[in-house]
Amino acid sequence: MRNVNNIVGRFAPSPTGPLHFGSLVAALASFLDTRANQGTWLLRIEDLDPPRESESAPAKIMKQLHSFGMDWDAPPMFQSTRLDAYSEALARLSEAGHTFLCTCTRKATRGVYPGTCRDKQHTDQASAIRVLTTATSIHFDDQILGPRAYNMEQEIGDFIIKRKDGLFAYQLAVVVDDHFQQVNRIVRGSDLLDSTPRQIFLNRCLNYPSPSFAHFPVVLGDDGQKLSKQAHAAPVTSEDSATVLATALKALGQRPVDRNPIGKMLDQAIRQWALDQIPRQLTIPNRDL
């Protein structure tokens, strides 16, 4: 499809297991939004935390996306192949004075990091690396939730970009990859809303442009809990994908589509896509899943 508006969207699951209903909604929201804007849709597998991952998950996820008629426009990118790029970005940040080493335990740093290690001269290689935040205000105009503003130092605090165990943190990898893949439009769940000021701050430190953001409220079960793989939400199977697709569209406040082969249903959903119809809170009774 010709990319008239040069919109580049992406779906970036962690391969901890097959997609559950909530992650399917996330894939669908990004896919429909990108396609409705004649954009390019990318798939990125965020496999940076091997102990939490399943080797068979990437193939399962791709199979699930295909069973719902969602197709991506370039070979999937695996974050595990991108470690050199993350190292390079980290070196740039460090050289520019944006980082410091931190030896605090996780327990000692619950909430906003109080800056404990900022002025300590740690040399321990087993330290975590944090970004030095400033009192700057980060603004963005969320296309669903409206304008948001955060004071980086007071509300977010210095955050980790490389963990003590040597793994690159999600925030750094996402920013480096979105820039590399020229992603300029991010549609994702509001469970990631607090990551957005961090990512915009990193973009500034690295002189990257920031994408536009739209966070839809996360899908809740009828017990009010967020659906997650950890909570053993029922994995979405390819069986009766038309029914699941209809439920997902309903969750996103979209007009229903006619019963058809899945590809046709998806085409109609693209034509009808209306970001302004997404409700502020998504609640789907578990029995509908």
Residues making contact with Zn ion (CB under 5 A): 102, 104, 116-117
Which lies closer to Zn ion via its Cβ, residue 44 or residue 98?
A: 98
Q: How far is the CB of 98 from Zn ion (least distance, A)?
A: 16
Which lies closer to Zn ion via its Cβ, residue 104 or residue 262?
A: 104
H-assigned helices in the chain: 21-36, 57-67, 83-95, 170-180, 195-205, 241-251, 262-272
Which lies closer to Zn ion via its Cβ, residue 117 or residue 257?
A: 117
Calculate the alpha carbon distances from 174 to 36, 45, 168, 196, 235 in Å: 24, 11, 10, 10, 25
Answer for the pair 48, 80: CB distance below 8 angstroms, yes or no. Answer: yes
Q: How far is the CB of 112 from Zn ion (least distance, A)?
A: 13
Q: How far is the CB of 134 from Zn ion (least distance, A)?
A: 17
Which lies closer to Zn ion via its Cβ, residue 87 or residue 103?
A: 103
Q: Going by C-beta distance under 8 Å and a sequence separation of 6 or more, which residues neighbour residue 123?
A: 101
Q: Going by C-beta distance under 8 Å and a sequence separation of 6 or more, which residues neighbour residue 247?
A: 21, 284, 288, 289
Q: How far is the CB of 122 from Zn ion (least distance, A)?
A: 8
Q: How far is the CB of 214 from Zn ion (least distance, A)?
A: 34
DSSP 237: P
Which lies closer to Zn ion via its Cβ, residue 119 or residue 276?
A: 119
Tokens of 4: 């008239």
